[in-house]
Amino acid sequence: MTVGIPGVLLMVFAMAVWPLGRLLASADVAKGRGALISAMLMFCIGHNITESGLFERDGIVRTIFFFVVALAHYCTMDDKRTAPVKQAGDDVMRELRRRKRKHRPVLTAGE
């Protein structure tokens, strides 16, 4: 136990309790996607509990665990996270045109 009791509690909460709670409480996640992510999360939690070492020497399960937690977080984010593709592209181009107009180089007679 190199991280101590507080570290273990924080790690278990951040990697197991919080993502699973958000995933199960979210009504916006598609049923199939939510079922797959929860099943993978439960497998990783179960595997780490039965191995008596959280994140120890099981490279593939640890990697899957991190990916599943990231997917759970991504799927339960607010709807504000994405803008329509056309609108996002227009916003970028509008900002580039504004910057170009604002920062036009000044030519002097000696150059």
- Provide the residue-wise pLDDT of the chain in tens; the chain has 111 residues: 577 888 888 888 888 888 888 888 888 888 888 888 889 988 888 887 776 655 566 678 788 888 888 888 888 886 555 555 556 667 777 777 777 776 666 666 665
User: Rounded CA gap, 1 and 3, in Å?
Assistant: 6
User: Rounded CA gap, 13 and 78, in Å?
Assistant: 21
Q: Report pTM.
A: 0.58
User: Rounded CA gap, 89 and 81, in Å?
Assistant: 15
User: Rounded CA gap, 71 and 101, in Å?
Assistant: 40
